[in-house]
Each structure stands twice: as structure tokens, then as C-alpha cells.
Amino acid sequence: MSQVIPVEEKILSENERLAAAIRADLASRAIPAINLISSPGSGKTTLLEKTLHHFAGGRRIALIAGDVQTENDAQRLLAAGGERVQPIVTGGACHLDAKMVGAALDRLDLTGTELLIIENVGNLVCPSGYDLGEDHKVVLLSVAEGDDKPLKYPSIFRRAGLMLLTKIDLLAHCDFDPERAEQNARMINPEIATIRLSCRSGAGMENWFMWLERLIGKSSQPESHEGTRNV
């Protein structure tokens, strides 16, 4: 397997070049971007449905929804009122890369967009190594998954700016200690911020919406940049 490493390095360096171009383009438009990463079924799409509802008529959010197969997530986001939604079907690949995201951005009208959210493929391992040009990686961990996961899958927790502990309505029914989960995450990444929330009960959702509002506020600039996108 000695041949893998140079090829992987070449792919990663090409990915970094494309990601840097995406980041520069989004910055020039004052569009902050986040990259949501988690296991399958941690609640990424449901969180985005609730986020679209909350910001409906207020903030203009563009969404890129990645999946191994089906455009089901993108369809759900359109049904939830998403007006700027692009699916990426990887056809088997276990993560999004900057080339896929660049192509999806080319199909999106970004005029006036105030926030870009990229929903990665459900996978707690592989997506962490691929920069998509985002400002922050956000990792979701459902309380049904166990509080040991930051230690067992450290790469994404090391790189994420924010951990969302999702499905906290299930805390009474699972052997999950949220404080231990947060301690474990901070052992890997002392700077990581955390929010506990439940899309089902609504608990903690305001903290997530405020986090997004602050992100939008930081990126907004006096001059607006509009027009077509060039990477």
C-alpha cells in the first residue's frame, strides 16, 4: 500500500487549492460557510429543516446537501422552504471534496446569500480531512451514539469549531453523560464550543440560531458583493 500516500497527498493538495479559492470567493461576497459533519442519522437534515423554518423570510441561506445516494435530503430541504438548495450525490464516495462543492456553488444563485451551509455525507471519519472552503466545521453527536465518540473519532473533533450534542430529548433513555461527552471533546480540542439541543423538543435551538446569527454578523461588510461567482 506504499503507493497510496503520494497519490493521497496529491489529491489533498489539489483539494486545498480548490478549497482556498472557494474560501476567497465566499469571503469576497461576505458569505460565511459551515460544513456539517456527523455519523449517519445524527440529525443534520432535521437540524437544517428547523433552521430554514426559523430564518424563513429573514436570512437568505444557501444549502448544499451531500449524500452517497438519493437526493432525499435536498428534497427535504426544498420542502422545508429552502430556496437555494443544491444536492451532491457522490455515488459511493465517503466524503465531499472541494471540487464537488465548487461545482455545486456554480449552480447556486449566491446573490444576496448571507450564509452557506454544507451538509456533508454521513460519516464521522473521512470528511474531516477535506477542506471545503468553509469557515467552520461543525460536528454533530447524537446522545444515542455514546459519550465516548470524541476519543474514538478524534480527527473531526480536533478540527471542529463547534460540537452540537443533538437529540437531548433522548437523554433519559440513553446511557449518555453530556458533561463527559463535552470533557472528552475538550480533551481532543480545548477550544471547541458546544451546544446541547433537540430538534424534537426545541430545547437549546435558540443557542444554535444565535451562533449562526453571530457568524452572519461577523461576516457582513459595508459593501455588498454581487454577481456571478469565479473560482
Contacts with a copy of itself by CB under 8 A: the residue count is: 42
177 binds a copy of itself (CB under 8 A): no
Tell me the window of 36-44, 78-86, 101-109, 207-215 that interacts with a copy of itself (CB under 8 A): 36-44
Among 94, 103, 187, 210, binds a copy of itself (CB under 8 A): 94
Contacts of 41 (CB under 8 A, 6+ apart): 122, 142
Q: Are 15 and 97 in contact (CB under 8 A)?
A: yes
Tell me the window of 51-59, 121-129, 131-139, 210-218 that interacts with a copy of itself (CB under 8 A): 121-129
Among 75, 111, 155, 194, binds a copy of itself (CB under 8 A): 155
User: Nearest approach, Cβ of 54 to a copy of itself (angstroms)?
Assistant: 20
Q: Are 109 and 6 in contact (CB under 8 A)?
A: no
CA 80 to CA 70: how far, in whole Å? 17
Residue with cell 500516500: 5
Q: Of 145 and 182, which has the nearer Cβ to a copy of itself?
A: 145
41 binds a copy of itself (CB under 8 A): yes
Assigned C-alpha cell, 113 = 446569500
154 binds a copy of itself (CB under 8 A): yes
- Tell me the helices (H) and strands (E) count for the chain, helix number first: 8, 7
68 binds a copy of itself (CB under 8 A): yes
Measured from the Cβ of residue 214, the count of other Cβ atoms closer than 10 Å reads 11
